[in-house]
Amino acid sequence: MQELSHFIGGKRVAGKSGRFADVWNPATGEVQAKVPLASKDELDAAVAAAAEAQPRWGATNPQRRARVMMEFVRLINRDMEKLAEALSREHGKTLPDAKGDIQRGLEVVEFCIGAPHLLKGEFTDSAGPGIDMYSMRQPLGVVAGITPFNFPAMIPMWKMAPALACGNAFILKPSERDPSVPLMLAELLQEAGLPDGVLQVVNGDKEVVDAILDNRTVMAVGFVGSTPIAEYIYSRGCANGKRVQCFGGAKNHMIVMPDADMDQAADALVGAGYGAAGERCMAISVAVPVGDKTADALIEKLVPRIEKLKVGPYTDGNDVDYGPLVTPQAKERVLSLVQSGIDQGAELVVDGRNFNLQGYEQGFFVGPHLFDRVTTEMDIYRQEIFGPVLSQVRAGSYEDALRVAMDNEYGNGVAIFTRDGDTARDFAHRVNVGMIGVNVPIPVPLAYHTFGGWKKSGFGDLNQHGTDSFRFYTRTKTVTSRWPSGLKEGGEFYFRAMD
């Protein structure tokens, strides 16, 4: 059986703790590798090595750092097939979905090639008699990212590319469920010219997470995962004086107005609800049609589309719609929530509980489920399912539908499907959610805008990627200067107004 490693000091390094976690093949249900779980001492040693390497990297001019990002982009494109296959093998995604995961991370790296412009400060000439003022954006030092299983390429790149482009050293703690691609990305960055020790990949569990949060050298932490863990990391990291951004769970709604194109809405819901087996924080898990007539029409459109979905392993080709869930525990949790929906009175319109794939009976596959007449008190509405389950909550009016989305504790993404511009504009301005789609089901912003949710979906003042990422990974230093030629009258003992 393959034994994975950490990536420390520019090379793969075996774990020393003696503790390991299983890495599954989700399609077959077999354990295909073991990943080491680092101890606190291993994490501290990796941070110390990163702190030693960072000053030289931080002193490298932004253009040279950007060239490393440029070469990294080339190498990712070169190895796209290899990366996608490794990602699919450990996560279970289809190959097109795996390539999309990599591509969305790659676009953030491309944005970071603009670091020389993004890191420019401000300058004021003659702020006072002979006085100039200017600001500099400087790296924080050593920073860390704790990333989830569901996007093992994209989110590590969202975190580490801006951090490295800003001149920081970076500690990556990827998910122990699918750690191979983060290790491969570290090797590609090394090949692209990143100096030894500037990027360290430390695999681990809660022991390593706590070690990151408590290590005084780590100046900032970024996290993506569930809301309870996001709250934990945010509170503990802030208590230790760190800059922290945490992105948690979601319950994304799609409001369907009576004037919407029902075929377009149904196609959007199927893709957004069941793609990647529902294991993404921007999945649409709740459809909110306005009026019973709209709800009935939407169900009529959805059922045949859902029943035609092809579920299978990534090796079955590009026409597979989605693959297995990532672990047996994930499958068990989803089916438990489906049962709770039945027990609490929701109408199960499409039942995927008995799904069985010949030849892959031990895999973690879950058939598609569709619930109607779900209420906001039910567990399948209140909890993030993270599986191929779509719920329909019927709304009596536009205001009722808006209220459903606004009253939910999560605020990651939301969409509205309508032909009416006034309704769409009103919705976008009023709804208290961070990312809005108008006739777009999964409104993930492109790399030069920022990604972030509201309410219990996001903790911290700055979002991921875009210009916010450069603000998060730098701090501003402001200099007020006057040269000796401007000293005419001796010392001063008070703050004088800038005339």
Burial of 314 (0-12, 13-18, 19+ CB in 10 A): buried
Burial of 366 (0-12, 13-18, 19+ CB in 10 A): buried
Count each helix (H run) and each strand (E run) in the chain, helices first: 16, 23
Give dist(CA 157, CA 106) in Å, integer.
7
What Å distances lie between residue 489 and 115, 127, 483, CA to CA? Answer: 42, 18, 13
Asked if 281 is an active-site residue, the reply is yes
Residue with tokens 């459109």, as numbered in its chain? 301
Torsion of CA 280, 285, 289, 290, to 10 degrees: -90
* Three-class SS state of 110: helix
Sequence-ordered strand ranges (E) for 94-233: 123-128, 131-139, 142-146, 169-173, 199-201, 218-224
Note whether 380 and 337 are within 8 A (CB). Answer: yes
Is beta strand 252-256 parallel, antiparallel or unpaired with respect to 474-482?
Answer: unpaired
Q: How far apart are the first and last CA of the chain?
A: 73
Give dist(CA 402, CA 398) in Å, integer.
6
* Three-class SS state of 220: strand
Give dist(CA 365, CA 263) in Å, integer.
27
Residue 101, amino acid: D
Note whether 54 and 104 are within 8 A (CB). Answer: no
Give dist(CA 419, CA 141) in Å, integer.
49
Q: Give the catalytic positions in this structure.
A: 281
